């Protein structure tokens, strides 16, 4: 599975440097000089990073073979990708990458199907976006990704168990 680690926003200056929107929690590793990244569209790459630097809170990157602003302009909007199989293992068994969670079945404590993880949001508190199933079909449920509410994640079985507080799945029952 290809994972997006950055998006080329626009050229910076006249020597081929580009502004990269970082979409990884570890840019020093994923977007380091020497890294070779696949691209979307595929015809734009692969791209090899020759140099990076931070400027006014933005990552600026130079790529081998991109020598001037005209060449850089052709890369505008290009997504920078890594293969999930190339990522190192996570040491903590209670940590997961977003792509591991997306697509998992979400079941209640009694085994009833609640829905499927459609996305993971990171806004101070990690939230699972669950696409409801059955009578909840067509609804989006935001589930805080904390051990008290998500006591079990079983990647091999393709599911996670939630123990929702009153009102989380049905706001009309909230006190």
Cβ atoms 109, 103 nearer than 8 A:
no
CB neighbours of 23 closer than 8 A, spacing ≥ 6? 4, 5, 6, 7
Residue 103 lies in a domain: yes
- Give me the CATH number covering residue 157: 2.30.30.240
Structural domain ending residue among the three candidates 21, 51, 86: 86
| pTM of the shown model | 0.63
Q: Domain holding 25: CATH number?
A: 2.40.30.60
Strand partners, 59: 20, 54
Q: Which one-letter DSSP state was computed for residue 136?
A: G
Say yes or no: 113 and 61 in one domain. no
Q: Domain range holding 63?
A: 2-86
- pLDDT tens for the 175 residues of the chain, in order: 788 889 999 999 999 999 999 988 778 888 999 999 999 999 998 999 999 999 998 999 999 999 999 999 999 999 999 887 676 676 666 778 888 899 999 999 889 999 999 998 887 788 999 998 878 888 899 999 999 999 999 999 999 999 998 888 876 665 5
Number of domains in the chain: 2
Q: What is the CA radius of gyration of the chain?
A: 20
- Residues 61, 103 within the same domain: no
């Amino acid at each position: 599975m290809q994972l997006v680690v950055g998006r080329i926003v626009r050229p910076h200056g006249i020597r081929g440097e580009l502004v990269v929107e970082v979409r990884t929690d570890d840019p020093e590793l994923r977007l380091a000089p020497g890294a070779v990244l696949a691209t979307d569209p595929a015809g734009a790459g692969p791209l090899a990073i020759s140099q990076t630097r931070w400027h006014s809170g933005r990552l600026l990157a130079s790529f081998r073979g991109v020598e001037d602003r005209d060449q850089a302009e052709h890369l505008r909007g290009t997504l920078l990708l890594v293969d999930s199989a190339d990522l190192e293992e996570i040491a903590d068994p209670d940590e997961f990458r977003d792509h591991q969670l997306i697509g998992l079945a979400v079941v209640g404590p009694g085994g009833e199907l609640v829905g499927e993880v459609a996305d993971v949001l990171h806004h101070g508190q990690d939230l699972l976006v669950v696409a409801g199933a059955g009578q909840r079909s067509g609804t989006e449920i935001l589930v805080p990704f904390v051990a008290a509410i998500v006591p079990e994640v079983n990647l091999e079985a393709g599911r996670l168990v939630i123990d929702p507080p009153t009102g989380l799945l049905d706001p009309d029952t909230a006190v």
